[in-house]
Every structure is written in structure tokens, then in C-alpha cells.
Amino acid sequence: MEIQAIELAHFRNYQGLQINFTPGVNIFVGANGQGKTNLLESIALLSGGGSHRDARDAEMVQWQEEYYRIKATVRSDGQSVALELAFGGERRKLAKVNGRKLRRIAELSETLNTVVFSPEDLSLVKGSPAQRRRFLDRELSQASPAYGDVLSRYARVVTQRNNLLRRFREGAVTAAELELWDDQLAPLAVELLGRRLDGLARIAPYARQIYRGLSRDREQLELTYRSSFPLPEDRLRWLEVYRAALKDRRAEEIARQSTLTGPHRDDLQLFLNGRDARTYGSQGQQRSIALSLKLAEIAYIHQIKGEYPLVLLDDVMSELDPDRRQQLLAELESKHIQVFITTTHLHAFLPEQLGRAGIFRIQAGQLSRRSE
Ligand SMILES: Nc1ncnc2c1ncn2[C@@H]1O[C@H](COP(=O)(O)OP(=O)(O)O)[C@@H](O)[C@H]1O
Ligand SMILES: [Mg+2]
């Protein structure tokens, strides 16, 4: 898949912008605060998973304006497709494919997929479990909007159940009412777990293989899903085991007014040669793992969709050492993936890479295309 042209109206510091991209590598170069990440963000939004920096829609509307609108001409599945995403003004949020309004914004991912790689991803291994869950959730939602659906329904029930736990302590809610919420929570939790484990089972072999290549066969990466309650082999038993786990911790949950067991508490564990990479991995190894996970995400989307996603690299070139940088670019170019890169300067690139790339200089929300 590929974005051929994009048109922005009142998006962040872009009053109006209309630009054509190249099918290969596109480089956005400019000083800090000029709008490089903003432009990348607008591309990421077109795959329906929200802002890669978790911005709210209202923040992305240009100051003093009423709405933002992003339009793009995309090639997907051999077809030329018109995408549109708008927020604000009279309507709340609206997405269209070829002029047809989508029921849910997340359905954009049926046409366009993006994998974003930013400096925070380099700390995926070291970061909190929440960061690794988010990685998995974003990835699996892109591959299947149904996953995102289950995830958001589950998250809603957890929030409501937490409110209930608070009110239970105040005596405003009965134990029977709590049980009713467990009836809602448990099947969603179990479905989410099943989907996560299935997804991980498909991603893990790619990550292992890619890591093996990056470490030149020296180290072995293992990914393990760590559930907040013991998961029996037999999936048909998950529901009852989860309900039992909820019961076990009921008193503690009431005391802490929070749901303590379930997929919102789980983690993705990463091991190198059998040792926890979070504790024992060097910074270089941790970065290679993060890179492998991202490249595995790209391969996984390709496996599901039959096409590679767009890859957005936000400020990662300067964060990677020259070796990993060249490995990454060569890998993406060899697969003919459309890539968007932000950078403050061009010396991270080889002359022949620059020769093939589309280079856009960005200054205060204005773009000029330049040839090297
Ligand atoms: N909603 C908005 N309306 C107008 N300008 C915005 C908005 N949000 C952010 N900006 C501006 O965008 C700039 C940051 O752009 P960004 O793309 O993050 O920079 P960089 O080029 O460093 O990646 C800042 O100057 C900020 O003032
Ligand atoms: Mg930036």
C-alpha cells in the first residue's frame, strides 16, 4: 500500500497543504518545532488507530479553527482509493472511503495500515508493562478492527466496574450487582486474552527470526505472554478460572477500588538466551529487540493483508547507530515499503539513498520539495 497524495486543512500547524509523495522513501527534514511529526501524525491517523502520540482530536485542530480534515489518495489492494478523515465543526468525527461514510473510524485500517516507530519505542523493552501492552494492542487492532472492538468494550467495563467497586465500599451497591459486572467482564477478558495469545503466536516467530539476523545468530529472543492469573492449557476453562481469580481478590479489589486481574494487567516478557532482557539486556540489545518487534509487526501485517504497511520513522534515525540504521533502511527498501522519515539533518543517509528518496523541507508548516 502507498499514499500518493495528501491534503490537509487546519491540521496542527498546517493551514492548508497539498503534496504528492514518492512510492519509496520520503524524508521530512527541518529544525525542531516546524511540523515534521505533525505531518507524520496526519498519515498515521489515516489508518484509523488514532494519534501515535496519543493526542486528542481537539488538540490536532489548528488553533483558532473549528475542524481539521485530512484527505488522501491511496493505492491499496491494487486499487486507487480516496480516504477522508475529518473532526470538528458540526459533526464529531467522520471517516470516508471513496465518499462512503464508515461506521467506525477503525475501519480505515481495512484500507491503510501504518507502523510507527518513534524514540519511545526504543525503550519498549525497558518501559512499563503498559507500554508493551499498548504495542501489542495497536498492532493487533490494525490487523483486525474486531480486536479493537473487544479491547474498547473490555476497557469500558473495567472502568465501570472500578466505579462500582468504589460505590460498593460506600455501601451504595450490593454484592449481587458486582457479580453482574463480573458476568460482563469475564467473557470479554477471555476473548481478549485468546486474541492476544493467537496474535502473539503469529508475531513471535518473525521477531525471533529477525532478532537472530540482527545479532548475527549469536542470541535467541523469546517472547512470553504473562497473564495476571494462571492460564490453563485448556481454553474452555479460562472463563471459570478467571471468575475464580476475581473472587479470590474481591476483598483486595474493594479495598483498592480497582480491578486487579485481567488482560489490562498483563505483560509481554522478553528473554534473550533465557534471561529477562528488561533486567539483563544491554542498551544495544534492548534496541535490537525493539527494532525486531517493529519489523515483526510489519511482517505480521503483510501476512494478514498480503501487503506491507506504510512505515513511519519519527526521529529514530539519529537514535540508532549507523549499523542498525542502514540495516533498517536496507530492509525496508528491499521490500518496496513506502517509508516516511523525519529528521533534522540529512547526514544519516547515504548519497544513493538520498538520490532515490523524495525530500521535503519543512519550515513552519510549509513544505518545499527539494532535489539533492
Ligand atoms: N493544534 C495546533 N495548531 C497550531 N499549531 C500547532 C498545533 N499543535 C501543535 N502545533 C505546533 O506544531 C509545532 C510542533 O510540530 P512538530 O511536528 O511536533 O515539530 P517537529 O518538526 O519538531 O516534529 C509547534 O510549533 C506547535 O506550536
Ligand atoms: Mg518531531
- Which ligand is in closest contact with the Cα of 31? 1
Q: How many CB atoms within 10 Å of residue 94?
A: 17
DSSP tag of 230: P
34 CA from centroid of ligand 1 (Å): 6
Cell digits of residue 138? 495497536
pLDDT in tens, 292-337: 999 999 999 999 999 999 999 999 988 888 888 898 999 999 999 9
Confidence of residue 119 (pLDDT cuts 50, 70, 90): confident
17 CA from centroid of ligand 2 (Å): 18
Q: Whose CA is nearest to atom 5 of ligand 1?
A: 13
Mean of the pLDDT values across residues 232-242? 97
Mean of the pLDDT values across residues 104-123? 91
Instruction: Give the CATH H-level superfamily of domain 120-306.
Output: RecF/RecN/SMC, N-terminal domain (1.20.1050.90)
Q: For a pocket test of ligand 1, which of 34, 56, 360 has the largest count of ligand atoms closer than 8 A to its C-beta?
A: 34
Contact 349, 34 (CB under 8 A): no
38 CA from centroid of ligand 1 (Å): 6
Confidence of residue 371 (pLDDT cuts 50, 70, 90): low
Ligand 1 atom at shortest distance from the alpha carbon of 38: 17
Q: 1-113+309-372 architecture in CATH?
A: 3-Layer(aba) Sandwich (3.40)
Q: Whose CA is nearest to atom 16 of ligand 1?
A: 35
20 among annotated binding-site residues:
no
pLDDT score at 81 = 98
Contact 338, 2 (CB under 8 A): yes
135 CA from centroid of ligand 2 (Å): 20
Mean of the pLDDT values across residues 47-68? 95
Predicted confidence (pLDDT) at residue 280 exceeds the cutoff of 70? yes
111 among annotated binding-site residues:
no
Residues lining ligand 1, Cβ inside 6 A: 12-13, 30, 32-38, 59-63, 342
Confidence of residue 236 (pLDDT cuts 50, 70, 90): very high
Who contacts 133 (Cβ-Cβ below 8 Å, separation ≥6)?
Answer: 263, 264, 266, 267, 268
Task: State the chain's mean pLDDT as an integer.
Answer: 94
Distance between CA 244 and CA 336 in Å, rounded?
Answer: 50
Mean of the pLDDT values across residues 267-287? 95
36 CA from centroid of ligand 1 (Å): 8
Q: For a pocket test of ligand 1, which of 8, 10, 11, 12 has the largest count of ligand atoms closer than 8 A to its C-beta?
A: 12
345 CA from centroid of ligand 2 (Å): 13
pLDDT score at 122 = 82
Distance between CA 238 and CA 240 in Å, rounded?
Answer: 6
pLDDT in tens, 130-154: 999 999 998 899 888 899 999 999 9
Confidence of residue 255 (pLDDT cuts 50, 70, 90): very high
Predicted confidence (pLDDT) at residue 372 exceeds the cutoff of 60? no
pLDDT score at 89 = 81
First to last CA, the chain: 26
Q: For a pocket test of ligand 1, which of 10, 13, 118, 342 has the largest count of ligand atoms closer than 8 A to its C-beta?
A: 13
30 among annotated binding-site residues:
yes
Among 353, 358, 303, smallest CA distance to 333 is for 353
Each domain of the chain, given as residue ranges in start order, spans 1-113+309-372, 120-306
Distance between CA 138 and CA 143 in Å, rounded?
Answer: 9
The phi and psi torsions of 86 (rounded to 5 degrees) equal -135, 150
Alpha-helical (H) ranges within the chain are 36-45, 57-60, 129-143, 145-169, 175-214, 238-248, 250-256, 277-280, 283-305, 322-334, 351-356
Contact 4, 33 (CB under 8 A): no
Highest mean pLDDT of the ranges 88-102, 184-198, 207-221: 184-198
